[in-house]
């Protein structure tokens, strides 16, 4: 799928060259030249008045949405990348935390790009992987992965993309997933998250 997507994406000239033929037989004026991008997430900066439409699941009932004035953030030395809030997954031991949002993938989507900012604070020895975080679409291979070894001292941008061919015109659930082991907590913070669909009718 990735191969076919990259072919389509890299052969934009070819597509436009054959566009005349497509338009001639299909009369697809509405689909001609309509390339662009659309944001699929709602409340990707976590700063809305409510948590909607994010769905939170936490085995240890952790408060995943934290405001800038939360004492836990001051203690951790973390501030939201965008005010007022961020999300934190992990912290507890033996935790499985999911933060998910279902989006509608446009029928003309050719790729999905996930981006945002992350902070990782750990009590683990960073020589070994104990605690893990993933950004993924349910049913798809994980797009991005982090561990306690990626602990950092400032917000770090992340980005990854996947072909949207298998998801075109469907609902897809994007999520962060965190798993921690039985000791030494790791907190994974995320903020200003985006899922952008690149659209190109052909």
Does 131 sit near Ca ion (CB under 5 A)?
A: yes
Classify the C-alpha dihedral 19-22-28-34 as positive or negative. negative
Could you tell me the smallest distance in angstroms from the CB atom of residue 81 to Ca ion?
Answer: 6
Concatenate the DSSP letters of all residues of 98-166 into one string: EEEEEEEPPTTEEEEEEEEEEEEEE-S-TTS---EEEEEETTS--SEEEEGGG--SS-EEEEEEEE-GG
From 6-14, 50-58, 67-75, 188-196, span contacting Ca ion (CB under 5 A) = 188-196
Interaction residues for Ca ion, span 160-179 (CB under 5 A): none
Do residues 79 and 68 lie in contact, with contact meaning Cβ atoms separated by under 8 Å? yes
Tell me, by CB under 5 A, how many residues bind Ca ion: 11
Pick 79 or 161: Cβ nearer Ca ion: 79
Does 116 sit near Ca ion (CB under 5 A)?
A: no
Could you tell me the smallest distance in angstroms from the CB atom of residue 68 to Ca ion?
Answer: 9
> Using omega within 30 degrees of 0 as the cis cutoff, is the peptide bond preceding 173 cis?
no
Binding mask 35-74 for Ca ion (x = CB under 5 A): ----------xxx---------------------------
Q: Which residues of this chain interact with Ca ion, rule CB under 5 A?
A: 45-47, 80, 82, 130-131, 180-181, 184, 191
């Amino acid at each position: 799928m990735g191969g076919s997507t990259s072919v389509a994406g890299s052969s934009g000239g070819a597509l436009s060259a054959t566009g005349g033929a497509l338009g001639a037989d299909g009369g697809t004026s509405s689909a001609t030249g309509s390339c662009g991008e659309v944001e699929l997430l709602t409340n990707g900066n976590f700063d809305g008045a409510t948590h909607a439409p994010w769905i939170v699941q936490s085995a240890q009932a952790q408060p995943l949405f934290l405001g800038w004035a939360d004492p836990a953030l001051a203690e951790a030395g973390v501030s939201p990348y965008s005010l007022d809030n961020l999300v934190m997954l992990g912290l507890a031991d033996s935790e499985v935390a999911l933060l998910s949002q279902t989006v509608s993938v446009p029928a003309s989507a050719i790729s999905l790009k996930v981006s945002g900012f992350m902070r990782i604070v750990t009590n683990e020895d960073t020589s070994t992987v104990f605690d893990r975080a993933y950004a993924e679409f349910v049913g798809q291979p994980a797009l991005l992965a982090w561990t306690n070894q990626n602990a950092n001292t400032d917000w770090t941008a992340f980005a990854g993309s996947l072909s949207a061919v298998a998801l075109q015109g469907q609902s897809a659930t994007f999520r962060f997933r965190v798993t921690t082991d039985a000791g030494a907590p790791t907190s994974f913070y995320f903020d200003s998250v985006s899922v952008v669909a690149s659209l190109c009718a052909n």
